[in-house]
Structure 1
């Protein structure tokens, strides 16, 4: 895997009139806001005020959609006057759920909910995005003659024709790809009909739904609730869907965040959102409260449960107790999502270790065991890490070999695609549409399905198409830094200046800050916990960062990394500045680290030759016949263990071969039963067992074994050690602990084994460049100590 390239934006010479226009937005600005606005194309002084302050922006009329909006409003007026049944057809991601909620609340002002008005959302785990024949049949059976879609429907031509034949009218509100010809619908409201520079061109599904309701508010009589009461839902969907926040998108997000904050008041308008904010420890005044808080939780509903309908209830119900229950279920689903995402990322990384990426432009992987709900998330992580568009699929086949060879007739692979580096992945996929059963999405995110037997041909074809379009140049991830700052500048003033440009999103990303020649103190890591205090296998590292600009350090956090990955010596860092509402402090989120150029006593070529990666069956790689490398044959569970081997190899002047096999996949409960069985056997026979024998038999390390001995004592066993090994005897006279005590102690053992297995899996799958980097740090530290 190539090392990510760092790109730092140069400091521009700004016109005086432009700087003055920016400085009028707030007092005490240092110039960083002006630099960011200029970098992002806001270079007209007259644009600045409307970009920063929504009070100075003129939003676009919903009737800018022209005849299509008029047709939609007229058909809804007809339904209103004739009291027709209406069904909302939504989608299962955060944009689709919030869009459904906007239509449910908005149309509910004119059509009685659950009487005239219903909603339908496909199941993420069993169905695809968009309309379906069986869903249309179900609505027809309910005597429904009008469907209003949201965030879906533009390209469902067979289903739209089917609805028309059943005399069901369809109003499509969507923002996805348009068909070649206008579909057979009453109206299609889709911003893709506008040119890219139009202020409505980048609306997400929820924003299009809002525009329809806005038009109805201007047309139909006497709504009870103010229209702006829907804007918190609009902001959630807009920011969670990663659309370009320009024009009306930015304006709606700004107004929506203002509305979102009201849910932290004593009597919130949306008790479900209020409880979500409480659970994720957010105040609702930042776009990151959505992108890192509410958005992932709403998405987690369908990723884990499949059925996303209770997400609409969570967002729209006024029953506080019901909302509390639904919010807590959502929080637990998000915790489960994090664990699944972590596991899948490790599996995909392990698969990529077996692939020659020098010949791979687009990553395409499939597995029958992969959970479909988190494929898109992991595809996005892999795309960013490896600098390549990534497509991950799950298949119906139960035989992994069938994925690449003989496949069952009719078996389907379906999944998600994510892009990187401004590559239009949607077009790449579209070029292979003859091999697919369905696909849809955006330039940077798409969903698709295809016959399993077409997978090898699809993989070859999309890679060939990529090479034809972009050439054979080396692909690598790119990490961009917007501003170069010092630790002394981090804090309230800089945060306040950068906040002027919020909300951040596509086209206006969160500013990334380059900190040069810095170092770290008080580095510690831990697993995070869910709202009930239970650990989630999802690591984070906390630290204090320092540099020569000040004697004061500044706090920070690095998600999904261990503390040993932070070097003990000076380095360069890229980070984002944030405010932690829960801890009430400013902090940085670390994005990337690299050694200071010229500071390394061992160069990358030496490291590549010194450490041999023999995992995944890569034996004999880089090994000369007369060499005798030191081999690590037991999978470690900490960097301390790895560093012991680094130092030993350096001391003995030998290469180091990472040759440990995959860690045990045994369930902790099975290991516990094995330990009890060994205890019974040794007690009955009077024999002993050495520490090495117990390690090899149980596949656990010292810490888990010691906790296991405590558990045996709770059962009534006595464990003693001697030169010959461990002897275990049954002390019947002492009796065992109570069932409750035994359960508690046993739970400690199961937790310790689970944690050890998690860490071993991390070390089995961690990329070689990370190991080389930590080895380099170990060697530097050894040299410093020697001096």
Structure 2
């Protein structure tokens, strides 16, 4: 990937235009070809494998080597000797889905609830990872299998050994200096950084264990291992791992499984958030927040596993309703704490504070991670938010990309009670008397390691106009999904545009109750057209009135069954926005694009409609009959604005349109030959494009794109 030049003072950076090979443009379209080429995908074989999971060769589970062999041997022994097995999970979406994968997967080999049980710590009262108190509740087990946790819990592993309980660790977090004394540890961080399994999240590692078990004892399972892939996709996308290699493959295959909605809990979750399940954003903005909210609000997430694995529709619906309620409470608490954190930041000298460490006794511990993530992105520096509970501080840390938060904190382990995580997210606890020492040590280490606070850089993939934000671009960009680290959602730059029709969205829950969550909605307008959009955490008085350059993403809105833009950043302009005749015409007609009243078959395109209009015009001219606007609209299946565009295009070809208060006469002058319709004037091109866009938006549903 080429180094990006700075575009302006806001640290926007733009990729230079490249010249992809003609075969690639023909294969995926010009926009997608630009992005693939910019992102270093330039050979036919790697592009094919990137776009089509069927063309990718996945890495086998036994690529983990001896550790996987040892794990499978111990699980086989447990089955043969009827040992009791416990799954030890974690309380975030990756950990919950990993627990569910092991519960369903191992459940093919062990009786659930008898020989197989699961345990997940309470987020509000315990930390990530193994704990002595939790282990004491599992003393009757002979084997514990962790997922998404456990790699650095050396003290707890020693305690398990003293109880003669074997441990298999499946995890993806940072490794200890020496291999822990366990039966097996399956962690992709033991692999090289360019290995296709290196970026697996916790749920994907758990899936690989089940995959190896299926391969070893294929005659026992009654359900295909692929039925677990919907859970794998949820955990992978939710945990923000780099979606390359097998991570991308598993996410693609998992989304294929997700949209089948075979899993009742997932089906009801998708219905609750009005998603189809065929896009990664359905996970990141729909399913994952609801799963995470249960632990953030109530701590105990055992019901989450039931929700994702139960086949009882009444139970699943009740648990999804619980998740929906938790998500609504999470939103309100998140907004409250976010505002309180901002009030505290006002009094901080940011030039000397490269890391923000804040604590409060009234902050709900389950919400701190998500708020810290918001603040870290907005202020482009690590953020640690802590809840004060007596003499103990417990909380979450988040970091923007490019700053390894884990390594910064790790050097302070001697003053921490608990600590775990990865470069951009961590959980920790410490004594309140060590807080100031902790902050000073972190800041000192930051200056030594990074030297300066870099301005936030936004990488811009394409410069486009609003007229280009249509079905062609939408379809092309969708080919590159799923997006994530290593393959970010494309950022688009619109120059010289403005916001109109601004209002604060009235966000309600399923019961119709208004939620205190800030979202502005508007139309974004340039000289070529307009499009609906939204901007989270911005009130309408914060949305500029003056002309701007805007960085945005093109997203779908299943509620309105169309697509729109999500604002990423804005830079003001000094000059004014020109208003041309074309601009005014498109702005006037744009509302009819979304609600065009079309009654066309899904396969009928603007070119076909144009030919039908010409055919009707020839018939009326030949017979001398008159027709009403309503009759023409019903005949063609369109509404008045589109019909008027079509009649205007006919006039360009020489057709005479005569009308009175009721009737319409269409005539072509005698003694003239019909024009060559292969010579297409701009008015006809505009009509065809307008109809195609209107038909696409009206019929748009995520599962159909």
TM interval, short-chain normalised: 0.7 to 0.9
Instruction: Give the Å deviation of 1:172.
Output: 0.4
Instruction: Give the Å deviation of 1:15.
Output: 4.9
Instruction: Give the Å deviation of 1:22.
Output: 5.6
Quick check: 2:79–2:110 contact (8 Å CA) kept in 1? yes
Instruction: Give the Å deviation of 1:538.
Output: 0.3
Q: Deviations over 1:547-573 (max 9, x none)?
A: 1123xx211111221112222221111
Query: Does structure 1 residue 569 correspond to structure 2 residue 546?
Result: yes
2:499 alignment partner, one of 483, 507, 520: 520
- How large is the RMSD of aligned CA atoms in angstroms? 1.5
1:579-598, aligned counterparts within 5 Å? Answer: 579-597=556-574
Closer, same or farther in 2 for the Cα pair 1:370/1:343, shift >3 Å? same
SS state at 2:259 partner: helix
Query: Does structure 1 residue 152 correspond to structure 2 residue 149?
Result: yes
SS state at 2:70 partner: helix
SS state at 1:535 partner: coil
Quick check: 1:65–1:189 contact (8 Å CA) kept in 2? yes
Instruction: Give the Å deviation of 1:480.
Output: 2.8
Counterpart position of 2:361: 368
Counterpart position of 2:463: 484
Distance 1:532 1:257 in 2: 29
Quick check: 1:491–1:587 contact (8 Å CA) kept in 2? no
SS state at 2:138 partner: helix
Distance 2:76 2:473 in 1: 51
Instruction: Give the Å deviation of 1:597.
Output: 4.7
Instruction: Give the Å deviation of 1:48.
Output: 0.7
Quick check: 2:335–2:517 contact (8 Å CA) kept in 1? yes
SS state at 1:378 partner: helix
Distance 2:220 2:291 in 1: 31
Distance 1:7 1:351 in 2: 28
1:37-436, aligned counterparts within 5 Å? Answer: 37-140=36-139, 143-220=140-217, 221-263=219-261, 269-397=262-390, 411-436=391-416
SS state at 2:11 partner: strand
Closer, same or farther in 2 for the Cα pair 1:474/1:230, shift >3 Å? closer
Distance 2:525 2:305 in 1: 46
Query: Does structure 1 residue 494 correspond to structure 2 residue 473?
Result: yes
Return 5+ residue gaps in structure 1 as ranges. 264-268, 398-410, 601-787
Distance 2:457 2:575 in 1: 22
Q: Which runs of 4+ in 1 moved over 4 A?
A: 597-600
Quick check: 1:421–1:478 contact (8 Å CA) kept in 2? no
Counterpart position of 2:696: none
Distance 1:460 1:202 in 2: 32
Closer, same or farther in 2 for the Cα pair 1:389/1:482, shift >3 Å? same
Distance 1:148 1:563 in 2: 51
Higher alpha-carbon deviation: 411-420 or 102-111: 411-420
What is the TM-score with the length of structure 1 in the denominator? 0.71
Counterpart position of 1:556: 533
What is the TM-score with the length of structure 2 in the denominator? 0.79
Closer, same or farther in 2 for the Cα pair 1:171/1:421, shift >3 Å? closer
Quick check: 1:204–1:238 contact (8 Å CA) kept in 2? yes
Distance 2:42 2:125 in 1: 48
Distance 2:373 2:472 in 1: 33
1:450 alignment partner, one of 430, 439, 451: 430
Instruction: Give the Å deviation of 1:546.
Output: 1.1
Distance 2:382 2:525 in 1: 36
SS state at 2:72 partner: helix
Q: Deviations over 1:17-54 (max 9, x none)?
A: xx524632x4xx1x221222233332344311101100
Counterpart position of 1:540: 519
Quick check: 1:37–1:43 contact (8 Å CA) kept in 2? yes
Return 5+ residue gaps in structure 2 as ranges. 1-7, 578-705
Distance 1:184 1:109 in 2: 28
1:20 alignment partner, one of 1, 20, 23: 23
Distance 2:51 2:26 in 1: 11
